[in-house]
Structure 1
C-alpha cells in the first residue's frame, strides 16, 4: 500500500506498444516521505552525482522536490522546482555561500506540464538538462573535496518547516523515450553509478 498523501495516477504515456501504460505518483500535502540519509548512502554521499526525474508540478508552485539535511538539521542539498529554480548545496565548509547557489533564470519547472529534468554535478559545475534538449551549465563554487553529512535525513517533496509542499506526478526520466514507444521498467531518481531509489 502507498503512504498517506500518495496516489497512483496515469503517467506520462497512457498507452504504449507494449500495452502497459505508465503510472505516476501524485504527492499531496499530506505526504511525509523521508528516510535516514545513511540508509540511502551507506558509505558517503557521492562527490559527483546526477538526479533525473520526469515531473508535472502544479502551475505556479515554488517548492523543493528533494532536500538532504545534516545531523543538526541544516539543509545541505535541495532541488527546487518553480520559476527560476535554485539548486541549494552546502558542503562541510559551508560552501558555496547562499548568494552563490546556482539559479536557473528563465526556466519554469512548475507550469503544469510534464518535464524531463536531469541535474548533473561534476567537480565545480552543475548542468541542468531540461526536456532532453535545453542545457544550462552554472558554476558550483564548492570546496575541493566536498563532503555532505549522511547522518541526517532526506526528505522528498518538501523542506522541513515549509508550508508549501511539492505536489507532483512523478515517473522515470528517459530521454530516448520521447514518443511513448519504450517500456518503462521502474520509477527512480538516479544519484550515481550505484545509488538509486525506486518508488513503486
Structure 2
C-alpha cells in the first residue's frame, strides 16, 4: 500500500484491519512556528519552546477512525465530555486545520475512504471536530460525530508515537542499534526463508 504524502502532519501509523482502517497522526505541524530540519543526520523538530512542542505531541493527537462499514454498532451513541474552544484559543492554526479538513474530505470524495471523523483537543478543550462521508456504504447512512468504530492493532502506532516523542527529545537516533537500549537483542537475526531440511534460514 502506498501512503499519500501528508502536508500537515507526521503519519506514525496506518493499519488496515479486516473491517477498519485507522490512521494515527501526531499533528504538531498544526502549531504555529513548527519547523522540521535535519541536523547531523537526525530529524529535529523545533518550536518557540519545548513545552509547547511536547504538549502538542501529547494532547493534539488526532486519532482519525476511517471505517469500512460497521453495522449495528455504528448506531450507538457516544458523548464528548470536554468543553469546546476556538483553535486560536489553544494555540492552533485555524487555516492549517482547514487544510487538514480539505485533505481528508478529498480522500472521501475520491473513494479512498468511506467516511472519517476527526477530533483534536488541547489544554482540555476540543478545538476541532469534523465528519465526512458515510458510515455504511450500502445504506449511505452519513457519518456522525458520535459514530462508533471498531479499531484494532493500536499497540504499534501508540508505541511509535511514544518513540517519536523520545526521538524529538534527542534520547535516541535512527541508526542506533536496538542492543544499545535492550542488551538482550544484541544478536538479532532476520528470517530468510526455510532451508531444504525444513529449518529456518537466518541472516544478520
Q: Same fold (TM over 0.5)?
A: no
Instruction: Name the one with the larger strand percent.
Output: 1
TM-score band (shorter)?
Answer: under 0.3
| CA radius of gyration, larger in | 2
Instruction: Name the one with the larger helix percent.
Output: 2
